[in-house]
Structure 1
Amino acid sequence: MRRYILPSILAVALVATGIWGYYQYNERNDYHTYLDLQFQRQFYDLIGHVENAQVDLAKAMVSGGNKDIIKYLNDTVFQSYMAQEKLTQLPLDHGAIRRTENFLNQLGDYCTAMVNKSLEGIVLDQDEMSTLSELHNYANMLSQQLIELQQNISAGGINFGDLRREGNRDLAQLSDRMEKFQLINFEERMQEYPELIYDGPFSEHLKDVQPRLEGETIDEGQAIQVVQENFREESVRDIEVTGEIENTSIPAYYLRGTRNGNNGQEVSMAVSKTGGKVVWYLNPREIGESTLDREEAIKRAEEFLTNKGYEDMVATYTTNYEGQSVINFAYEQDDVIVYTDLIKVKVALDDGEIIGLETEGFLINHHKRDIEEPEVSEEEARERLSSGVEVESTRLAIIPTAGEKEILCYEFKVKFGEDHYLVYIDANKGEQRQLLLMIEQEDGTLVM
């Protein structure tokens, strides 16, 4: 009788294991179905915002008065930035859609510049109207490509839930699947879209300035040593150079390695050929349930930057999505915020691990400034504000302008009605240089 007990126990265990496995299989499928539905909604919203931007831009071009032009250009700005936000939330290879993101960003920024010009009573000239027309054509092209892509997805060609799963495991496989996306065609056709030069603290053209990064040129072996030294605490091992990144502001080596402690999770990074600096780092691991709040995430990011040798960095804005917090840090010199010297840190909100780093803005622009005393006092600058706003905070900041220049401004955070704005008053001339609307959202602050 006893000899039948063990086989019986094993049989019961096998059945229980099968039931558990079936349950886990269903749970996994349900989760990826949920992801697919969420991404489908984001993609649907993306199409809507691009179509609205196209329509609003067309209305602006056919409007006869400055008042109407300003209204429709403002609407275009909002739609383009919202489209960019939706695009970045989709599980697509960032490298393959970078120019699309840049286009949406520059569309919004250029329209903002035209709004500012129209507010001064200046009629847009023929060249500016031609640029708006070209941007409208590209927006129309992008809208058509997105609709075609949506039709492919609806026909069962691509499942966003599976795409996210595959993307986490194998970025190369994800890139292969991107060949099916009509967005690639849009990328190729956008190579010659107009360069937009205009005033604005977040102007895209500032990335094209000559980097201030200095140092000797390193080889592949030295690049591996840089990763070993910089990510010793993260236990990155099996590091190898898999390629080179050219035709960019900072030529770099592309490396991959394995992160201990995450079941051998593969991580990737870029190290500059000049000076051997980490340009970016990415750990695309799956993230569990969030346990950290905004303040805790910022603290983890601050500690990380300090350990990596980045001093005097101040957290400015944060964005949360899918269990991650992306925190923007700007350099501070003599109590002045320097917005061009930017570092982005991505924190996993389940355990506070740093899963992303981007230092390009800092490496390109950072240097010691000779900051002189403002010729305009804070009180005098405050007098330039509207009497209807409530000033909540003030600080000095350096912001970029066209022509690779920087200006010292008073940054006033003000409240008007229920909305918050950032107003930049030139600290030497007393002129208003920029006005940004702050849209507080659950996942962070959108500044436009």
Structure 2
Amino acid sequence: MRRWISIIVLSIALVFTAFWGYRQFNDKELLIVQAENNYQRAFHDLTYHIDLLYDKIGTTLALNSKDTLSPQMIEIWTLSSQAQSDVSQLPLGLLPFTKTETFLADIGEFTYHVAIRDLDNEPLNDEEIDRLSSLYESANEIRKELRSVQHKVFSDGLKWVEVEMALAKNDRETPNHIIDGFTAVEDYTSGFDESHFDNLSADLPSQQDRFRYVDGDPITEKEVKELIMKQFDLTADLDIELQKSGDGAQLPTYSGGFTHEDERGYIEVTESGGHVLSYMINRDLGKAKISLHDAEKEAEKVLKQEGFEDVRRLKSSQYDETGLFQFAVTNDDVWIYPDRITVKVALDNGDIIGFNATDYYRNHHDREIKQPKLSFEEAKQFVSPSLNIEDQHLAIIEDKAGNEILTYAFFGTLNHDTYQIFIDADTGKEIFVELMHDVESKWG
């Protein structure tokens, strides 16, 4: 009898283990598929935007009317920004790609400054036309290389998650058409004559200057694993997958992953100083039980734990069972919008399931904040009288060209909507207007 009971118990345990293993495997496969879909979308968007960029620059060279030249330059600037956004969504952090990112930023910077000036009094000169011609040729080379990679992706069924794994393992021996293609693009843009952009603003931080305030002694893999165990309260026997960024990465980091009970965790830590850039916890979420207000308190707690004391909440949004909060650090009561941090909270129990301080570490630097020329009341006169102003504060934001500007941020209501308006604190110029959302609408 005992033998049969033991057999039954073992059988149940075997079935349970098989089910648990299948579920873990299935969850992992779903995450991989989701990541691959996001990578593929970003890559094909990048190829499309570079195609359009090439066409628009060519059209600009053929224009002879000042009235149509300025809007065309704005379109090129917009496309270069979209291309930069596409690149940032690809797993290229482990691959040297800073020259191409800088090249795209330079295109946007050049075209934006041309678009906003008075072309009647200051038309394009011969040197600037030569610059456009060089940009046109360069965009064509990049376009052809990306099209070649895209053809290989389609014909051979190449996967971006395999690129990510190859880069993380620093495997450059195994042929990979995606890595080879992007390396070719980087090699080409590395040879581009940077003197074309000598007259652009020198105050803007280049891509290579980013993260310059990430400090501290280099940490070892053992120290990273200890940090991860402490961060998530894990036991020492838990297996932690750890990968180090490859040579030439913009910021040397460690990427860690682990599975604990029904959760899958990911974290990125800087090699210098062991700063936590971001982490994410994937698990099934239950029905929302806590309010956004209570969730915000939980987000503030984790910010203090990570060493961020002087922060103010910029935005709060609810997406089904999660609350998403964006914070900015402050300096003498001035809100520094580029130095922002995002926290994601599960609304079923208040757990922190997402944290991202990459923007903070990328943009943070010592700033000399000057006194504004306009008072609050003077700046308020430049806000639409249709809005009922509820709150205001001084803020540093970035304009479309990436320049930091001291502004007054006004929060105003109109009907049932809330708007955020940024007014230049020196000139009264309206820099930016945004409609605020608290809860994501559900459609269908």
Asked if the contact 1:235–1:260 (Cα under 8 Å) also holds between the matched residues in 2, the reply is: no
User: Match of 2:144?
Assistant: 144
Distance 1:179-1:338 versus aligned 2 partners, 3 A rule: same
Q: Percent identity?
A: 19
Q: CA offset at residue 145 of structure 1?
A: 1.9
Distance 1:113-1:366 versus aligned 2 partners, 3 A rule: same
1:210-265 CA deviation, whole Å, 9 max, x = no partner? Answer: 95678xx74657x976985797343476999987999899xx87456676837896
Asked if the contact 1:207–1:361 (Cα under 8 Å) also holds between the matched residues in 2, the reply is: no
Distance 1:337-1:61 versus aligned 2 partners, 3 A rule: farther
Q: CA offset at residue 151 of structure 1?
A: 0.6
Pick from 406, 409, 414: which aligns with 1:408? 406
Q: Supply the distance in 2 between the matched residues of 1:245 and 1:420 (Cα, whole angstroms).
A: 43
Q: Supply the distance in 2 between the matched residues of 1:415 and 1:176 (Cα, whole angstroms).
A: 59
Q: CA offset at residue 34 of structure 1?
A: 7.3
User: Match of 2:93?
Assistant: 94
Distance 1:329-1:174 versus aligned 2 partners, 3 A rule: farther
Q: Supply the distance in 2 between the matched residues of 1:400 and 1:258 (Cα, whole angstroms).
A: 34
Tell me the secondary structure at the aligned position of residue 156 of structure 2. Answer: coil
Letter in 2 for 1:311: E
Q: CA offset at residue 294 of structure 1?
A: 8.2
1:49-86 CA deviation, whole Å, 9 max, x = no partner? Answer: 22112222322333223321121122223323333334
Q: Supply the distance in 2 between the matched residues of 1:318 and 1:143 (Cα, whole angstroms).
A: 39
1:383-431 CA deviation, whole Å, 9 max, x = no partner? Answer: 556x798686753223579xx9965333457999x9988554243xx26
Normalised by the length of structure 2, the TM-score is 0.66
Pick from 277, 284, 305: which aligns with 1:281? 277
User: Match of 2:361?
Assistant: 360
Q: Does 1:208 align with 2:209?
A: yes
Asked if the contact 1:270–1:281 (Cα under 8 Å) also holds between the matched residues in 2, the reply is: yes
User: Match of 1:180?
Assistant: 177
- Please give the root-mean-square deviation of Cα atoms over the aligned residues, in Å: 5.7
User: Match of 2:168?
Assistant: 171
Asked if the contact 2:388–2:412 (Cα under 8 Å) also holds between the matched residues in 1, the reply is: yes
Q: Which runs of 5+ in 2 are unaligned?
A: none
Letter in 2 for 1:310: F
Q: Supply the distance in 1 between the matched residues of 2:386 and 2:175 (Cα, whole angstroms).
A: 48
Tell me the secondary structure at the aligned position of residue 353 of structure 1. Answer: strand
Asked if the contact 1:235–1:259 (Cα under 8 Å) also holds between the matched residues in 2, the reply is: no
1:158-210 CA deviation, whole Å, 9 max, x = no partner? Answer: 134x549x74x993278777953111211122224435774699x45386389
User: Match of 2:122?
Assistant: 122
Normalised by the length of structure 1, the TM-score is 0.66
Q: Does 1:85 align with 2:85?
A: yes
Q: Supply the distance in 2 between the matched residues of 1:128 and 1:56 (Cα, whole angstroms).
A: 16
1:96-133 CA deviation, whole Å, 9 max, x = no partner? Answer: 27434444444334432322224795323444444444
User: Match of 2:331?
Assistant: 333
Q: Which runs of 5+ in 1 are unaligned?
A: none
Q: CA offset at residue 307 of structure 1?
A: 1.2
Q: Supply the distance in 2 between the matched residues of 1:28 and 1:264 (Cα, whole angstroms).
A: 8
Distance 1:51-1:297 versus aligned 2 partners, 3 A rule: farther
User: Match of 2:311?
Assistant: 313
Letter in 2 for 1:408: L
- Number of matched pairs: 419
Letter in 2 for 1:146: L
User: Match of 1:155?
Assistant: 155
